[in-house]
Amino acid sequence: MEDKNYKPVKTNKVAENSSPFTGVLGWLDNRLPVFRMMKHEYLDFQVPKNLNYFWSFGGILMFCLIGLIITGLVLGMHYKPSVDDAFDSVEKIMRDVNYGWMIRYAHMNLASFFFIAVYLHMFRGLYYGSYKEPRQLMWILGVIIYFLMMATAFLGYVLPWGQMSYWGATVITSLFGAIPFVGDSIVTLLWGDYSVGDAFLNRAFILHWLIAFLIVGVVLFHVIALHMTGSNNPMGVEPKDTRDTISFHPYVTTKDLYAFLVFILLFSFMMMYSPNLLGHADNYIEANPLVTPAHIVPEWYFLPWYAILRAIPDKLGGVIAMVSAIGILAFLPWLDTSKVRSSVFRPIWKQFTWILVGDFFLLMYCGAMPAEGVYIMLSRVGTAYWFIYFLVLAPVVGWKERPLLVPDSIHVATKLNSKK
């Protein structure tokens, strides 16, 4: 006999026919609603209607990450992480493994294109104010991803065990020795010996893989944060109603597909015709601890931070400045005091942001040059502006600047632009 004093239990079961799919797909989706979630979060997901091609780099970055993991898996099957065999195993991949040359060049150039796309992705977020409320956590997760990318790329650069691999590893790992009290212990832990050698190479191989999959996990959180807050847009105005948005498919997918095809064309041309353009010739010479290269430089995507490191005469000060130059990005949502999100409506801030882009390339150039004379002076100027931009200009300009009139909604601004 049913007792009316108790309410029926709410079951967690999904109705048998609640899936938008039919057949086998519907049966699976009713029991594991992955397809339903993908349809809701991607195909039917509403995005601002005024997105430009800068918003295509998210998909390009996902492709690069998947490509790096797949090519890395194949390379890892043939690589031998020991100082006696590492260099030869890479040469064997290039010469004896079927399409090994193509897989290695794809992995190398995907890493470079990954960083190119990341820098453009970060610039877009900086220029259009994607770090502001309510997207602070998404921005911070992006900064964490960048730190992890740097660690993975550095460890991957060590693995071929060429001259730049060895000496780059020696220089970078020795920087930890500048940390007071525990620095020497950290260096010994990293090396696993009294110098960079077999133990360190094994650590680099394992950590290269481990951090790569850690990046995948943080990227998933980054995407979830994006879908919780929605995409920013070039005007920095939140959508008000359905007139301000369009569905992700087919509109954004078509635009992303075009951007992806252009990316593939550029990547394929680089890989087939000039695969070593962004590399260093010395890394095709086997590592020799007794022969120091005339000029030790990291990969091109580390050069701005390398210039900041060398701009400070003190070793510990240089390490702090280098880490702070990247870490300061995570605090930008609170350093920027302006109520207006996009630089489109901030004429003064826009100029300083473009100067920052030039400053980034100046630091990159100085990082590739010898640490002497005018290059050190230019590095110090570039380093000074980098920190002034974030610590002084962001709060002061945000407080003093008079922004342009921001449109009330996206669809109104779109109509005004179409009439011009």
Task: Determine whether 227 is an active site residue.
Answer: yes
Q: CA–CA distance from 74 to each of 172, 195, 355, 416 (Å)?
A: 28, 30, 42, 53
Q: What is the distance between the alpha carbons of residues 171 and 173, in angstroms, rounded to a whole number?
A: 6
Distance CA 299, CA 113 (A): 13
Catalytic residue among 299, 336, 359, 401: 299
Catalytic residue among 121, 130, 208, 256: 256
CA distance 115 to 105: 16
**Six-digit token string for 405:** 């009139």
Dist. CA 37–CA 376, nearest whole Å: 53
Show the tokens assigned to 312: 């400070």
- Joined together, the tokens standing for residue 38 give 């993908």
The active-site residue, picked from 44, 96, 133, 227, is 227
- Measured CA to CA, the distance from residue 317 to residue 322 in angstroms comes to 9
Residue of 76, 152, 140, 74 whose CA lies nearest to 114: 152
Helix (H) or strand (E) holding 313: none
* Count of other CB atoms within 10 angstroms of residue 103: 20
Catalytic site residue 299?
yes
User: CB within 8 A of 306, min separation 6: which ones?
Assistant: 297, 298, 322, 367
Residue of 255, 324, 350, 409 marked catalytic = 255
Q: How far is Cα 120 from Cα 351, in angstroms, rounded to an integer?
A: 17
Number of C-beta neighbours around residue 254 at 10 A: 9
Residue 314: helix, strand or coil by DSSP? coil
Catalytic center residues:
227, 231, 255-256, 299
